[in-house]
Amino acid sequence: MFGGGEVAYYLSKEFIEGGHEVLVIEGDPKKSERLEEALGDITLRGNGCRIQCLEQAGVSRADVFIAATDADEDNLAACQLAQIKYKVPRVLSKLNNPRNRNIFRKLGIENTVDVAALILENMKAQIPTFPLVRLSELEGEDLEVVQVRVTEDSGMAGHSLGETRLAFLADASCLVRSGESPRVVDASTSLEEGDSLICVVAHGMMERLEAELSGQPD
């Protein structure tokens, strides 16, 4: 791991508890001391964008490399080195600026975690007026798991899913209704206000879904 902040602390803890070997590269002595006090001898003082440091860390033996600093340019540089020069099989990066997601993808770093988006979606999940919440992304599959809420203004309540503009969700969705057990939907499932659909949708469908849900009801 490169960057010894909060993310590194909690991740390291879980990795160690899972019996894995962890090394955290951190330049700030205060941060690495704090990590060592809590988790033992797991840090290397240095800069994970530097080849000398990565060599010393033995990064070519790593199964996973995670860049989690607060600077996206450092995360990018370190991930590119880990992936291309040291052939680490799984490389992922924390993203501080959501706009960099596309840049990282185009520069070969496919797996990123957008911190701002995570917070945003978590907040939206707790505010019932938002009709669409992104719950998770299925890595490597180009699929997303989303929650679609049947709200008062959605125009969907009182209709069967097949009659709505979101009929295409009938293929891979699960209905969650308060007080009932979740069940798999089909086109004939009738919707009520307050229902949620948990759906697996292709990444390419997200724009359509967003447009349908933000548009005025028929």
Partner 1 sequence: MNAFIMGSGRVASELGTLLDLEGHKVTLLDFELSMFDNLPAKFQGRTLAGDATDEEFLRRAGLKNADAFIALTRDDDRNAMAAQIAKHIFGVPKVICRIYDPPREEFYKTLGLEAISPIMLFARLVKGRLED
Q: How many CA atoms lie within 13 A of 161 on its CB side?
A: 23
Buried b (16+ CB within 10 A) or exposed e, 126-135: eeeebbbbbe
Sign of dihedral through CA atoms 18, 21, 25, 31?
A: positive
- Where in 135-194 is the site for partner 1 (CB under 8 A)? none
Rank residues 78 and 175 by Cβ distance to partner 1 and give the closer one: 78
Give yes or no for residue 87 binding partner 1 (CB under 8 A).
no
Using the contact rule CB under 8 A, the part of the chain among 22-30, 46-54, 119-127, 167-175 near partner 1 is 46-54
Distances (CA, A) of 168 to 48, 138, 184, 200, 208: 45, 19, 14, 11, 11
Give yes or no for residue 71 binding partner 1 (CB under 8 A).
yes
Rank residues 13 and 50 by Cβ distance to partner 1 and give the closer one: 50
**Main-chain phi, psi angles of 44, to 5 degrees:** -130, 125
User: x-or-dash pattern for partner 1, window 47-66, by CB under 8 A?
Assistant: --xxxx--------------
Q: Residue numbers of the site for partner 1 (CB under 8 A)?
A: 49-52, 71-74, 76-77, 80-81, 84-85, 97, 99-100, 102-103, 106-107
